[in-house]
Structure 1
Amino acid sequence: MSNYVFVIDQDKQPLNPVPPGLGRKMQTDQKAATFKKYPYTLILNHSVVAPRLKGLTLKLDPGSKFLGLSILDGNKVIWAAELEHRGWGIHEGLEKRSGYRRNRRSRKTGYRKNRGQFEFKPDGWLPPSLLHRVQTTMTWVNRLRKLAPIEFVKMELVKFDTQLMDNADIEGTQYQQGTLAGYTAREYLLEKWGRQCAYCSKSGVPLQVEHVHPKSKGGSNSIRNLCLACEKCNTRKGSKSVEEFLKNKPEALKRIQATLKPPLKDAAAVNATRWALYHALQDTGLPVSTATGARTKMNRAKQGLPKEHWIDAACVGDGGENLDIKTAQPLRIQAKGHGSRQMCKVYGTKKNGEPIRGLPYPTAPGMPKRRKDGTREAPKFRLHGSVESGDIIDVQIPNGKYKGIYKGVRVAVRGDGRIAIRPKGFSSKFDLTTASIYKVVQRKDGYAYSVQ
């Protein structure tokens, strides 16, 4: 069972979604044409005056890495999707940029001073990796409102208790004061790791505070990510992951992983963004209601449904206890972004620590070439007529090795103007011939799509 098909009239007024079979019949009878491929939308060839619209409900299950979306007509689940955020990718990109800037400051190249913690941040400020989750969610809420008559929004508003997640038996004064009450961080670590090196178990030597998961690879300064190591182990480990450093010592690795507790980054991300998302939904003017995670879990368990993000979204709040699921193929959406804004990329460092800028392969097709005087040519836009890299097209190749009709393929425009595609089932890209006929069915929008 596929998702229902969105329908809009000639004036782009959203109408009631229809089953896929009815949508195909409308196209066969030439009453409608494809308006958008993802999510699949039909546009009528006429206007509809005073349509009878159903009040649909949009339900959201916001998570740290994924967002579940479901549209319900009463208790019928007629459309569903799962959106994968790229928040951690944004975080890693910012960490890398911070490293480049720190390197420039250490080499005294006249780079601006680090604003750091003294930079003013307004009330309600969120870091870019978390703000992305809110903005991406609102992007899809607003998109769906333009395609379907949505009148209500329900979201799961959950707060994770990180104290109890860290220690299920904590209670009383210890719960109120926290784990480090009465300790300094170093005293706590000495007691936790038995006053010995976490890696070689050597005792009676000076111990240094060390990040188990390196900061350069996304590790935090949280006490749960710190351990004690002797100088020799700390130096040898460097920026290696603990799995890489102890690959020849499986027993030591197992002991450290048992002592460490799982990170609470995902729970912290949900806690930090839940109210920002709730207020953003209220700004749409639609009635917004919330429900707890326990209610969602109870509704799903009573019906014996599997654990899926879109199913959790459908089970949120009232009306989620008796679902009639009309779809089993949710749309998979992956946030990709629109590329990098760096005008000059960094590809490594020289022996003296100076970054290597420019191009890894100066003669690569479509890349700006280096002139003899050291300057570069203006970069070519990856654009060919009305087609841009990332667009989705239907194409017919009338002759040659790749003769055939390919639908819904993504375009890559090479620097010299050639158009390349890689249809499903092909291991590599190939160029279109000059006789190829193509039609753009959807412009690039920063997302990748697939159907389960």
Structure 2
Amino acid sequence: MPCHPARARELLAKGRAVVARHTPFVIRLKDREAENSVVPGVAVRIDPGSKGTGIAVTVDVDVANGDSGAVSTTRRGLVAVELRHRGAQIHKAVLQRAAYRRSRRSRNLRYRAPRFDNRRRPVGWLAPSLQHRVDTTCSTVRRLIRYFPVSELHVERVSFDTHAMSRGKNRLEASEYQQGTLVGYEVRQYLLEKWGRACAYCGTSDVPLQVEHIQPRARGGSDRISNLTLACAPCNAEKGARSVEEFLSQRPAALKRIFAQTKVPLKDAAVMNATRWQIVDQLRSMGLSVRAWSGGRTQYNRVGHGLAKTHTLDALAVGEVKDGTRIIRHPRTVLIATATGRGTYARTRSDRYGFPRLILPRTKQCSGYATGDLVRAVIPSGKYAGTWTGRVAVRTTGRFNVRSERGVAQGIHHRYIQLVQRADGYGYITREEEGAHCFADGASMRVDRSDD
């Protein structure tokens, strides 16, 4: 369980704990019996996204009121992780590889014979850029399970389901989005993303926005998501029951823009709809209790508790928040894990035409180090004298570059470098969490299970 940094230093100084991992900093307690402690189960809450995923480790605590004796439940955030995917880079690399292949085949060069288009993809196949999101999210959750006594997993299925919002019994009817506590949150979230959180008619932002029919229902307009937009209160009142062509008759450029925007699909929605169930299925294979929740409930919980709009605070609000339960605090520091990959399998570099021009080394390690390793360099003298802790870029000459918060130290001999942690495919930085309800007692993770 997370402990205060001073407590972590005391355990390490007395030899009762050892460092299990540098980033994120994890220590393992060797003599749990001496602590005589009972470790409660924690929950991992996941807010998947197309570009980034928020993960929060939480614990629900029952607190008794000393005056009345009533018991209330509070949710406390212990650790927050923001996982940043590199699906866009993978997609770009796949497209470039396909372009090279097509260009080589079109030059009538001696090349392999064309194959028949009879290769089938397995059931559940996803594009590499989408499969990457599933794999990195689940691998991060597995790592947290090794560090924490996780008893349950909560995951948000998707922020918005375009199919459910426009068809069947979940279709938006009349003023249904104004009734009930959760009704309409899926629709509003989708429209906020699609229309840039601004009024579609005047472009005003940072004001309360209302769901508005582009073609009024009085003139045959439907309730489908493609006929809905966001408008500020003055524009909505001025438009009234008039058609959009009549309302914007003096502004043809705005009318053209709105019609074009209604036909543009939201790529993030397609990405999430394609991967939502694969993430849930892989989480269920871990042997823990997994519960999937709606994105509308997450937004309702976050807004009701006054939390800012971030990936990690969305993850903190995932799941059921019963009446009387309060989200009272969350970590002040967020660990940002950016997926960087583990290098490439290619042994050559290609030219502009897709043909090999440079042969790469067969081994990735030089003098026992590989690019991306976390190292500490103690340089006795010279331009870069001092201690440098950061990522290393290796060279066959034996002189490496070390990138840290201070900058880049170039040409450092490997005898001045000491390995701290092997590269794991991620780059780590920290940032301050948004909002005022913070605490700072989760800087270190203490693993109380001696079997790890």
Tell me, in whole angstroms, the C-alpha distance in 2 between the residues paired with 1:63 and 1:136. Answer: 12
Note the alpha carbon deviations across 1:353-401, whole angstroms, 9 max, x for none.
xx44313xxxxxxxx5xxxxxxxxx726342333221110122222222
Partner of 2:400: 419
Instruction: Measure, in 2, the Cα distance between the counterparts of 1:115 and 1:253.
Output: 49
Superposed CA deviations along residues 287-329 of structure 1, whole A, max 9, x for unmatched, are: 0112111111111111111000010001011248621324111
Counterpart residue number, 2:409: 429
Distance 1:121 1:435, change over 3 A: closer
Matching of residue 440 in structure 1 with residue 441 in structure 2: no
Distance 1:271 1:17 in 2: 34
SS of corresponding position for 1:151: strand
Residue 302 (structure 2) pairs with residue 300 (structure 1): yes
Alpha-carbon distance, 1:278 to partner: 0.8
Aligned AA (2:381): N
Q: Name the aligned partner's letter for residue 431 of structure 1.
A: G
Change (3 A) 1:257 1:106: farther
Distance apart, 1:435 and its partner CA: 6.2
Match of residue 349 from structure 2:
345
Query: What is residue 402 of structure 1 aligned with on the other side?
Result: 384
Would you say the 8 A contact 1:380–1:415 is kept in 2?
A: no
Name the SS for the 1:429 alignment partner: strand
- Pair 431,253 (structure 1): closer, same or farther in 2 beyond 3 Å: farther
Question: What one-letter code is carried by the residue in structure 2 that aligns with 1:416?
Answer: T
Distance 1:435 1:386, change over 3 A: closer
Displacement of 1:115 in angstroms is: 5.6
CA 1:51/1:402 → structure 2, altered by over 3 Å: closer, same or farther? same
Deviation at 1:33, TM superposition (A): 3.6
Residues 1:334 and 2:338 aligned together:
yes
CA contact (8 A) 2:42 2:57 kept: yes
Please name the residue that 2:122 is paired with: 122
Deviation at 1:138, TM superposition (A): 1.1
Residue 318 of structure 2: aligned partner: 316
Residues in 2 aligned to 1:411 and 1:140: alpha-carbon distance in whole angstroms? 23
Query: Are the equivalent residues in 2 in contact too, given 1:397–1:433 (CA < 8 A)?
Result: no
- In the alignment, which of 63, 67, 70 is matched to residue 53 of structure 2? 67
Long gaps (5+) in structure 2? 61-74, 174-225, 227-251, 432-452
Per-residue deviation, 1:262: 4.2
Match of 2:190 in 1: none
Q: Which amino acid aligns with 1:259?
A: A
- What is the CA-CA distance between 1:112 and the residue it aligns to? 4.5
Is contact 1:162-1:264 (8 Å) kept? no
Deviations 1:24-79 (Å, cap 9, x if unpaired)? 33234443343212211013455659962210100000111111100012111010
The higher relative CO (CA closer than 8 Å, separation ≥ 6) is in: 2
Q: Give the equivalent residue in structure 1 for 2:114.
A: 113
CA distance in 2, matches of 1:24, 1:254: 64
Contact preservation (8 Å) 1:55, 1:151: yes
What do residues 208-249 of structure 1 show as CA deviations (whole Å, max 9, x unaligned)? xxxxxxxxxxxxxxxx9xxxxxxxxxxxxxxxxxxxxxxxxx
Query: Which residue in the other structure is 1:203 paired with?
Result: none
1:265 to 246, 264, 267: 267
- 1:21 & 1:166 partners in 2: Cα distance? 54
* 1:451 counterpart residue number: 430
- TM-score by length of structure 2 reads 0.66
1:46/1:348 Cα in 2 relative to 1: closer, same or farther (>3 Å)? Answer: same
Aligned to 1:17: 2
Letter in 1 for 2:350: V
Asked if 1:392 is matched to 2:391, the reply is no
Aligned-partner residue type, residue 405 of structure 1? T
TM-score, with structure 1 as normaliser = 0.66
Kept in 2, the 8 Å contact 1:381–1:415? The answer is no
Deviations 1:324-361 (A, max 9, x none): 32411110011111122222222313xxxxx44313xx
Contact 1:159 1:271 in 2 (8 A): no
Q: Given the alignment, which residue of 51, 54, 68 partners 2:40?
A: 54
Distance 1:257 1:358 in 2: 48
- SS class of match (1:422): strand
Is contact 2:161–2:273 with CA below 8 Å preserved after alignment?
no
Q: Distance in 2 between matches of 1:73 and 1:46?
A: 24
Q: Would the alpha carbon gap of residues 306 and 326 (structure 1) be closer, same or farther in structure 2, given more than 3 Å must change?
A: closer
Which structure 1 residue ranges, 5 or more long, are not aligned?
A: 1-15, 173-223, 225-250, 350-354, 360-367, 369-377
Choose from 18, 24, 31 the match for 1:39.
Answer: 24
Change in Cα spacing, 1:256 to 1:291, as seen in structure 2 (3 Å) is closer
RMSD between aligned residues: 3.0
For 2:357, give the aligned amino acid.
G
Q: Is the 8 A contact 1:384 1:419 kept in 2?
A: no
Letter in 1 for 2:331: T
Aligned-pair identity in percent equals: 33
Aligned position for 1:150: 150
Task: Give the whole-Å Cα distance in 2 for the aligned partners of 1:136 and 1:430.
Answer: 31
- Secondary structure of 1:158's counterpart equals coil
Aligned pairs, how many? 332
Change (3 A) 1:307 1:435: same
Secondary structure at 2:57's aligned position in 1?
strand
